[in-house]
Structure formats: C-alpha cells, structure tokens
Homo-oligomer: A and B are copies of this chain.
Amino acid sequence: MRDVAVLGYGMTPVSEHWDRSLKDLAGEAVLGALRDAQRERADFLIVSNMLAASQASGQLNLGAQIADWCGLQGIEAYKAESACSSGGSAFRAGVLAVASGQVDVAIVVGAEKMTEILGPEVTAGLASAADADYEAPQGPSFVALNALIMQRYMHEYGWPHEAFAPFSINAHTNALHNPFARLHERITIEDYHKSRMVCNPINLLDASPIGDGAAALVLGAADRHTAGGGRPRLLVMGSASATDSLAIHDRRQPLRLSAAETSAQRAYQMAGLTPAEIDFFELHDAFSIMSALSLEACGFAAPGQGPRLGLEGVILPGGRLPVATHGGLKARGHPVGATGVYQLVEVVRQLWGEAGGNQLARAATGMAQNIGGSGATITTHILRRDD
C-alpha cells in the first residue's frame, strides 16, 4: 500500500458562469492544478459530476470529454457519481488508483454547471439523489427530506430553530475572505430570524445555494513525487467511504448519519488519529441540520449536541474545531458534483498555509466529509502536512 500525496490544486470561483461551459470550468481547474503541481501530464483523470447526464446537458462520457478538452490525449478517465458526494467518491477513487501502484499520478476534478437549468428541473435533478422508487414519487423535494430530518431532530432534542444560526453565520463570515466563494454577504442573527422560509423549519439561511464551478487536485505516489513549488509533503492519511439506506424511512436511526460514522471511523483508524487530533473540519453543510449531524457522527459532539458546538464558538476560526473555513457549502456555494473536491482543495490550502484571509493558526491535520443524498453515501478524508 503506497502513501498518496497531494501535489497541487486548481479551481474556479463558484458563481453563475453564463459565458462558460462545463468543459471550460473543468479545464481551468485541471490545467490550474497541473500548473500548480508543476506537471504536464498525469496517468489518470477522474471526473465527478451529478447533473450533466440528465437535466444539464445530456452529456455522458465526461471523462473522455474533459481529458480531450485539457489536451490529455489517451489518458485513462471515467466519471464517478454518488449524487452530492460524487466529489468525495472521485477523490477516493484517485487515492485507490495511486495507492494501487498501477497509476503514478492522478487528477481528480469535480465539475458542475447547473445555474442555467430551469428551477423545477434543478429541483428534479437534486431529487434524483433521493430514492426514485419510494421517496421522489411521494413529492418531497430534496430540501423537504432534509426539513423532515431537521423537524424531528428539533423535536427529539428540544433545540429551538435559532440554535442552528451559528453554522450559517460562521460560514457567511468565512466566505467574506474567499474570492472563490459564491456569496459575500455578512449575516447576523437578525437576518437569520427574518430569513424567508423554504420548507419548515429550513429557511433560506439554513440552505446552501447551488452554483457553477470546478475544482481539481493532483495526487501522486508520495515516495516518487513532490508537491509543486517546493511545498511540504501533504499525505492522505485517512480515506474512506460508506453507505446507508437511500430512503430515510429505511434507516434504523434517521437522526444518525451512520454512513458518516462508519466512514469517519474507518478514516480515523487508517490515519491512526482520534477526533481530538483533527485541527479543522470541512463539513457538508448543504443544510444546517447536516452540520450538526456530521459533527455528531464524527465524534465531535454527542448525539443531539451538535448545535452546541456552534453556540459555544467551537466551530469559529479561533475555536477548537473550525468548520467551513472557506465558507462551506452555505456560502462558498454548492455546485453539487464538484463540492467534495472544493472541500478537499480548501483543506489543502489550509495545510499549505495558502488560505489567505481564511488562514487558520493551527492547521496541520484537516478533515473533509462529503454527503450524497440525505445521508446515503458519505466519504471522509483526513490530510496531514508532513513536516
């Protein structure tokens, strides 16, 4: 089993890119990552995307298309998909490829172009992450499924809605310093209270905005390649993925993200680390309830106590466990199939001390968790600077 290192990264801002195609966005990220890694070629390109096959453009075979667009003729390529955790799955596939010894250098690129899709079609596309046999036909949108979870969570554990506000406020504040973020709006607790209801109890400030964008990472065998620009070695210490039932009603404990728990435990074990040794955490705050559930599943809070980490400031940049340090899904934006790679790029920027106005004081070990569906496919990765 070879050690896998990050050699470089690239990304586009998350935005409404009306003048650029999916290929343009993916190409900018891939070529940027290769430049950053000071490499011209790689052996393997893995693409993550969610909606190009259906609502966006009716395009399959994105691996070949993006490889060709980037001038990487002949390279091995395919697409990985697990709904909103496609980016995490692609990164996992890249790690396995390099670890295998059969691939020397791999590029992982997450790309999504979705703001041009009509509203109801976006809703239909996101709903395809839920169970098309038992959930979608009943009519709930994807936000409605998350609202059911949040409603029940508040009922079970007695939290008022405002207990979730700190997740949103922290994400928006952090995004102010991130030029790649979709939203640059400082928000207050009053804004949160006044925010328009989307699906009770999820209001607009509990929900992440969609977006267009692409992010890429270059991975290589740690014993053969060094990072671009003489930067310190960054190792993938923990890499894991796990699944749970697609439909919420099939889960034994709908308020526990069992796939997050399993994948986090696997990642900790592989890394030989405990939750206490994680310096910061890029979590999947597609909805504020998911922040709470993710923190609980990863061992940072007891079941039902996730909101406490927001209320007590633990998640702030100066806290014990900063989260969403570049704005998270909530304010950096959520280009669904690309999000998992954005999270990992943000971990890498922190570890290399390149996070600009978002730089944390202590950032040697970072974790990212990416959730597909309402908890069905969840990847956890732990990266560490080796110096």
Chain A residues near B (Cβ < 8 Å): 1, 21, 23, 50, 53-54, 57-61, 63-65, 67-68, 72-83, 86, 89, 92-93, 95-97, 99-103, 124, 127-129, 131-133, 136, 239-246, 250, 258-259, 262-263, 270, 372-373, 376-377
Contact B78 A241 (CB under 8 A): yes
Q: Which of B1, B58, B128, B132 contacts A132 (CB 8 A)?
A: B58
Closest chain B residue, CB of each to CB of A43: B266
A229 to chain B, nearest CB (A): 28
A137 to chain B, nearest CB (A): 10
- Greatest chain B CB density within 10 A among A23, A58, A92 is at A58
Contact B63 A377 (CB under 8 A): yes
Name the prevailing secondary structure of the A interface residues. mixed
Cα A93 to Cα B92 in complex, Å, equals 11
Contact A64 B79 (CB under 8 A): no
Cα A136 to Cα B67 in complex, Å, equals 19
Closest 4 CB pairs of A and B: A1-B101, A64-B376, A99-B100, A59-B132
Copies of the chain in the assembly = 2
Contact A79 B82 (CB under 8 A): yes
Contact A53 B128 (CB under 8 A): yes
Contact A100 B258 (CB under 8 A): no
Contact A129 B1 (CB under 8 A): no
Known: A53-B53, A57-B132, A61-B377. A102 touches B239 (CB 8 A): yes
A104 to chain B, nearest CB (A): 12
Contact B63 A82 (CB under 8 A): yes
* Given A53-B81, A74-B259, 19 additional A-B pairs, CB 8 A: A1-B102, A21-B133, A53-B54, A57-B132, A57-B133, A61-B372, A64-B82, A64-B245, A64-B246, A64-B377, A65-B131, A68-B245, A72-B243, A74-B262, A75-B243, A78-B82, A78-B93, A80-B80, A99-B100
